[in-house]
Amino acid sequence: MKTTLLLFACSAIFISCSKSDEEPSSKARLIFKFKFDPTQVRLNNIGQASTIPAGNAAQSPTFNLMSSHYIELAPNALTQLGAGTVLFHAAETTTGGANAIDFSKNKAVGNGEEFFSMPLKDIKPGSYEWLRVSLAYQNYDIAIKAKNPLDQSTTISATGTLASFIGFNTYINSFTIKNTSMTVNANKAQGFWAFEVLGKNFSGDAAKTTVVNPISSTSPIPAGSCVVTGAFNNKLTITGNETKDIVIEVSLSTNNSFEWKEVIADGSFQPDAGETVQDMGVRGMIPTVK
């Protein structure tokens, strides 16, 4: 009896191993990771090289976190938004009234970290030339000049942290900027931001957000959204029979992506002097198959 049971157990193990070997693609995944690049070309909303307007200044922030709301693979430049292969659509809510991204369920990650993955066998086979990623939230550090809290007649150089909401609309309960938190419990339209420096925070609305889309003439993006569009360096081809992971590095241009209107023309952001945020969108996206 013991011999029979032992043989049965060994056979079960053999069958299990054989089944795994017969389906090598079941574990292969398509993985997306962010890269924040301050040297990547700075683009405008239609994908052309962009300069800083007269009277404004800008800097390349040090990114801490970024989150996405929507991911789509598009076969070509004529593919309308939503007509490609939609891989991901984040949670939304009407708690604040109008439909909005649910910030409490929105995953934010740092440089080089995975922000989404799914089995390759579950993705429609085909060749894809374009990637669309709707960005939702970003958190980064910037250099500023501010009034010295010990001597209001002088200014000091400091590093502040900016949390900005760039999705179409976001329901925010509460969030942490760096060391301080803010409670909102309301919807906030694209362009809402909060800033922390020297242990204090303040917030504002309606900062412009550049959304880069080089194929806007053939495949426009709805106004008010943040669906950034970029061409793959090499066409992405998916068969559904892959045996290894495919990693997509989603490189976002942070080249002078934080822009403000100058009051004191010295190239330093000085909110105490009344300088206001003009643009906080990323300046282009290059997806690369690694």
Could you report the per-residue pLDDT of 132-149, keeping only the tens digit for each? Answer: 999 999 999 999 998 887
Query: Closest Cα partner for 289 from 243, 233, 251?
Result: 233
pLDDT at 206: 72
Domain limits of the chain? 27-289
Least confident of 38-47, 144-153, 191-200, 227-236: 144-153
9 or 102, which is more confident? 102
The tens digit of pLDDT for each residue in 102-112 reads 999 999 999 99
Amino acid at 247: V
271 or 99, which is more confident? 99
Q: C-alpha distances in angstroms, 79 versus 46, 103, 166, 178, 195?
A: 16, 29, 24, 40, 38
The distance from CA 80 to its chain's CA centroid, rounded to whole angstroms, is: 21
What radius of gyration, in Å, describes the C-alpha atoms of the chain?
23
Residue 1, pLDDT > 90, answer no
The tens digit of pLDDT for each residue in 177-225 reads 999 999 999 999 999 999 998 888 989 887 788 999 999 999 999 888 8
The neighbouring-strand residues paired with 126 are: 238
pLDDT at 25: 52
152 or 132, which is more confident? 132
| Terminal Cα-to-Cα distance of the chain (whole angstroms) | 54
Which residue's structure tokens are 């800033």? 195
Positions of E strands within the chain: 29-37, 56-59, 62-74, 85-89, 92-93, 100-102, 108-109, 114-119, 126-148, 151-165, 169-176, 181-189, 192-197, 200-204, 227-238, 246-253, 258-261, 276-279, 285-289
The first and second tokens of residue 59, run together, are: 């800097």
Burial class (CB in 10 A: 0-12, 13-18, 19+), 6: exposed
The tens digit of pLDDT for each residue in 237-247 reads 999 999 999 99
Asked if 193 and 163 count as a contact pair (C-beta separation under 8 A), the reply is yes
Least confident of 31-40, 74-83, 203-212: 203-212
Strand, coil or helix: 235: strand
